[in-house]
Amino acid sequence: MDFVFANPTKVYFGTSQLPHLPEELLKFGRKVLLVYGGGSIKKNGLYGRITSLLEEQGLKLFELSGVEPNPRHTTVNRGVQICRREGVDVLLAVGGGSTIDCAKGIAATVFADTDDVWELVEGKQSIGRTLPLVTVLTLAATGSEMDCGAVLSNVPLNIKSGLIHESLFPAVSFEDPSITSSVPAYQTASGSADIITHILDVAYLSKPRQMEMLRNIQEEVLRTVIKFTPVALREPDNYEARANLMWASSWALNNFMYCGVQQCPILHAIEHELSAHYDITHGHGLAILTPRYLKYILNAATAPVIARLGVQCLGVDAALTEHQAATATIEAISKLYFETFGLSSTLSSLGIDDSRFERMAQACCHGLFAPDGQLHALADLSAQDVVEILKLSL
Amino acid sequence: MDFVFANPTKVYFGTSQLPHLPEELLKFGRKVLLVYGGGSIKKNGLYGRITSLLEEQGLKLFELSGVEPNPRHTTVNRGVQICRREGVDVLLAVGGGSTIDCAKGIAATVFADTDDVWELVEGKQSIGRTLPLVTVLTLAATGSEMDCGAVLSNVPLNIKSGLIHESLFPAVSFEDPSITSSVPAYQTASGSADIITHILDVAYLSKPRQMEMLRNIQEEVLRTVIKFTPVALREPDNYEARANLMWASSWALNNFMYCGVQQCPILHAIEHELSAHYDITHGHGLAILTPRYLKYILNAATAPVIARLGVQCLGVDAALTEHQAATATIEAISKLYFETFGLSSTLSSLGIDDSRFERMAQACCHGLFAPDGQLHALADLSAQDVVEILKLSL
C-alpha cells in the first residue's frame, strides 16, 4: 500500500477567475502558443475573451488549432515546429482532454532531440526539460487538467498510446463550470462515462486491498457523477451540476483517488484500441465496454466488489445475495449509460464490426499494462478474453 | 464558491519510504537542521535511523531539540540563529504538528529582516524567501505536514497565533503510519479530535453553501476517523487504522476539503486562547469545546446542519425531527470524545477556571477571524457568547 503522492497543479475554479490568466502566463514569458480544437471556443466567445485579455497585457499569441478529438501525433509535431520557430515560452491549451493532451505532447517534445513526439511515446527518447503548460478546461471528462498523462494517436499505425511523466502536470488550470453549459448532451454524457470509468478502472475495480477512506471517497465521487449528470443533461445551465462534474473530473484521475493502488486500467486498454482503429469518442467506447466487461468477469471472487459498487452507488438492494446484487449492478450500469445518459449501447452503432477484434486484443495484451501477455486487475484477461468482451459489446 | 486550489507537497506514504529521505534533502543542499521535540523519537529508534541514513549520505546535521507541544516563538528564534550561523540549506522536522510548525516559523524568518518570528506573526515583516522544509510525521493530528500554516505561542503575551503563506507548504513529507504505533492513547485521541475538528470547523460547520461532492467527502473522512480511532486505541499496532488516520489528518486540512468555503474556524479561535493561557493539548481543548459550542448555537437555523452530521457520521436516527436529531448528535459527540476516546470532559479537569474567560473572549473576537468583533460561521458569536460557551465547558 506504499505510495508517493504529488500534484503540483494550481487550479483556479469558478466563474470569476479568467482575469488571472495573463499573470499566470507571464510567470513563464510573453510568447504563448494557444492550442485548441475545432472552433467551439470561437462560437461560445471564449476565444475572444482569452485573446483580448492576453493581448491587453502585451502577450504575444501564436496558434495551433484543429486538434482532433483523438489528438494525432502529427498535430503535436506541428505544434513543436511552431514553438521552436517562434521561441514560445508557454503553452496555453483551451479545450477538453484532447487539446490538453496534444499540448502535453508538445511540451515534452520541444526540447527533445527529435522532431517527432512518437519517439517519446515509444521510449526511443526520454522526457527531459519540458515547456510549461497552462490550461483552460472546457469539458469535464478526462482529468488531464490535473494529471501528468497524455494519450495520443498514431493513425497510420492504428495505435493510441501515451506519455506519463511528472513534468507533464499543467502548471495552472482554469476551471469555469459555466463554460461547460454549452457542451452538447452527447459530449456531456461521454465525459461523465469517462469520469466514472477512471474511478472504476484505475482504482475501484483493482485487485489489491485499498485504504478504506479512499475506497469510500471513490464511491462518493461516483455518486456525485451519477447524480449530477442527468441534471446537467436536463438543465445544461445548472451551475451546481456543472461544478460538481468538473471538480469530480479533476479528482477522478489526479493521483489522490488511487493512492496505493496497483493500477491496470483494463477498460482503457481495450478502449484505446477501439479509438485507435475507429476514432470513436473515448467515453462512449468505455460506456459500451463496461457492463460487458463486468458481466464477463463476474464470478464468486469478483461478485463482492461489483455488488458493493451497486449497493453503494447505484441503488442496488443490499439484501440481495452477492451474485444477485452484482448482476443487478451490471443492469443498473447499462441503464445509467444507455437510458439515463442516452448513449447508444453497441459497438455496431458506432460502425464497428468484429474484423479487427483479434488484432486489437493482441495489441492491448502486449502493451504497457500487459507485459506478460495478460491484463491483471480484478480479473486476469488474456487476448482471447478481450475478444470475447468485444464480441459481447457488438 | 470560486476558489484557488494548490498544494505542492510531495508525500511519501508507507513503511518502506524513509530511504528516500537523503535524496530529497540533497535536492536542497547538504546542511540540514534537524528539528524535533521532547525525545520520543530517540526512544522509538527513529532518531537513530534518520541520523544514520543522512550521515551515510554525507549530509551534515545540526539540531534544534525540545520543541514544545505548543511551540514557542523563542524556540523558533533559536532555530533561526542556528540556520544563519551554520548556513543551513534545508529544515528537517521530525515530529507532530508542533515540531513542523516550529520549523515553518524558522523557514519564514531565516531570510527576513528580523531575528524574531513574532514580527512576522504580527505582520510587521512580510514573508519573502523561505528555507525549504522536509518533514517526517510522527502523529496523525494537525495536518501541518501538508498545509501552509503554522501556529506559534508567545508565552509572555499569552498569545497563540500563526503564519499562513503559500511558501510554507513542506516540500516533501514522509508519512509512515507504523511510526505512530508508539503514540500513547491520550495523544492518539487528542490527535483524532483535532482531525475531526478541522473538518467541522474549517468546512462542515461553515455558513455558505458548499459543493455537494466536498460536503460528502468531508463526511467520509469524518466517518473514517470516528471508525478507526477506537481501533487504534484498542490495538495500537493496527496498521490499517493508523494508515487511515494518518492520511485523514493530511487531507482534513490540505485545502481540498474546504475548496470554496468561507472559513471561520470558531473552535480553533477559542481553543487557541485556552492553549495560549494554559498550555493544554490543542485537540483535547477542541474536544471539550465542541459539544458545548454546538449546544449553544443550536436553533432552527443551525439544526439541519448539526442533525445531518449526526445522521451521516454518528449513527443518529434519520427519523427524528431535526431538533431531536441535532440534540442526539451533540450527545453522540460527547460520548465519542469523553467515553470512546477517553478524554476528560471539562476545562476544570485541565486546571482551567473562569478567571480569564472575559479576556480570552475579547482576544478571540478581535483577532484574525473576527475583524468586526464577532466570529461568523454557522452562527455569529460575540465575545459574550464566547464567555458563555467557555462557562458551559468548565
Is the four-CA dihedral A330, A332, A335, A338 of positive or negative sign?
A: negative
**Looking at residue B122, what is its pLDDT?**
94
Q: Residue B136: helix, strand or coil by DSSP?
A: strand
* pLDDT value of residue A370: 83
B chain contacts of residue A15, beta-carbon cutoff 8 Å: 2
Best mutation target among A212, A250, A258 (most B Cβ atoms within 10 Å) is A212
Residues of chain B positioned with their CB less than 8 A from the CB of A4:
10-13, 17
Q: Identify the pLDDT of residue B55.
A: 96
Give how far B348 is from chain A: nearest CA, Å: 36
- Residue carrying the nine cell digits 540549506: B89
Contact between chains at A247 and B240 (C-beta distance less than 8 A): no
Which value does ipTM take for this structure? 0.94
The distance of Cα B201 from the centroid of its chain, to the nearest Å, equals: 11
Looking at the partner chain, which of A3, A221, A248 has a beta carbon nearest the beta carbon of B13?
Answer: A3
Which residues of B have a CB under 8 Å from any CB of A? 1-17, 211-214, 216-217, 220-221, 223-224, 227-228, 240, 243-244, 247-248, 251, 256, 259-260
The set of long-range contacts for A372-377, using a CB threshold of 8 Å and a minimum separation of 24, is: A375/A264, A375/A266, A375/A269, A376/A207, A376/A264, A377/A201, A377/A205, A377/A206, A377/A207, A377/A264, A377/A265, A377/A266
Contact (CB<8Å) A223/B240: no
Q: How confident is the model at residue A255 (pLDDT cuts 50, 70, 90)?
A: confident
Q: C-alpha grid cell for residue A253?
A: 484521475
Question: Which residue of B18, B137, B213 is the best one to mutate when testing the A interface, meaning the one whose CB has the most A CBs within 10 A?
Answer: B213
Nearest CA in chain B to A16: B2
- Give the mean model confidence (pLDDT) for residues A379-388: 94
pLDDT of residue A269: 92
Q: Residues of chain A with pLDDT > 70: what percent? A: 100
Res. A208 pLDDT band, cuts 50 70 90: low
- Find the helix or strand (DSSP H, E) in which A117 lies: helix A117-121
The pLDDT of B132-142, averaged and rounded, is: 97
pLDDT for residue A122: 94
Which residue in the block uniquely carries the three cell numbers 486538434?
A67
Kindly report which listed range (A261-265, B109-113, B300-304) carries the lowest average pLDDT score. A261-265
What's the whole-number average pLDDT of chain A?
95
Domains and their CATH numbers in chain B: 10-178 (3.40.50.1970), 184-392 (1.20.1090.10)
Instruction: Give chain B's count of helices (H) and strands (E).
Output: 15, 11
Per-residue model confidence (pLDDT) at position A258? 84
Reported confidence tier of residue A387, pLDDT bands at 50, 70, 90: very high
d(CA A43, CA B329): 52
pLDDT at residue B133, rounded to an integer: 98
> Cβ distance B377 to B264 under 8 Å?
yes
Mean pLDDT of A352-363: 96
Among A18-27, B38-47, B360-369, which stretch is predicted with the lowest mean pLDDT? B360-369
Kind of pairing, strands A172-175 and B90-95? unpaired
**Number of alpha carbons in the 13 Å side-chain half-sphere of residue A159:** 15
Nearest CA distance, A178 vs chain B (angstrom)? 12
Of B1, B220, B227, the CB nearest to A217: B220
Determine whether the interchain pair A9/B6 forms a contact, defined as Cβ–Cβ distance below 8 Å. yes
Q: Do A13 and B4 touch (CB under 8 A)?
A: yes
- Which residue in B has a C-alpha nearest to residue A5's C-alpha? B11
Q: What is the pLDDT of residues B241-276, one digit of tens each?
A: 999 999 999 999 888 888 888 778 999 999 999 999
| Residue in B with minimal Cα distance to A9 | B6
Query: In percent, how much of chain B has pLDDT > 70?
Result: 100
Q: Whose CA is closest to A352, among A259, A252, A284, A295?
A: A284
Chain B residue with CA closest to A224: the answer is B213
Q: How many CB atoms lie within 10 A of CB A233?
A: 18
Q: Which of A3, A6, A17 lies at the smallest CB-CB distance from B14? A: A3
Identity of the amino acid at A212: E
- The residue among B50, B245, B38 whose CA lies nearest residue B134 is B50
pLDDT computed for residue B208 by the predictor: 66
Across-strand partners of A34? Answer: A63, A92
Residue A368 confidence (pLDDT): 72
Overall average pLDDT of the A295-321 stretch: 96
Report pLDDT digits (tens) over B94-111.
999 999 999 999 999 999
The pLDDT of residue B1: 80
Question: How high is the mean pLDDT of chain B?
Answer: 95
> Which amino acid would we find at residue B213?
M
DSSP H or E stretch at residue A266: helix A266-278
Q: Among all residues of chain A, which has the CA nearest to that of B215? A: A220
Distance CA A387, CA A270 (A): 10
The single-letter code of the amino acid at A302 is T
- The shortest CB-CB distance from B5 to any of A11, A15, A224 is to A11
> Is the Cα dihedral B207, B209, B214, B218 positive or negative?
positive
The predicted pLDDT at position A49 comes to 97
- Which residue in B has a C-alpha nearest to residue A221's C-alpha? B213
Question: Residue B8's closest CA among B186, B134, B193, B92?
Answer: B134
Task: Choose the weakest-confidence range: A112-126, A209-223, B132-146, B202-216.
Answer: B202-216
Question: Does the pLDDT at position A207 exceed 80?
Answer: no
Give the mean pLDDT of A127-144.
97
DSSP percent split of chain A into helix, strand, coil, nearest 5: 55, 15, 35
SS3 of A340, please? helix
E strands of chain B, at which residues?
A: 3-5, 10-13, 31-35, 60-64, 90-95, 133-137, 149-154, 159-164, 172-175, 375-376, 380-381
Whether pLDDT at A302 is above 90: yes
DSSP for B248-259, written as a single string? HHHHTSSSSTTT
Q: Which of A4, A216, A260 sits opposite B220 (nearest CB)?
A: A216
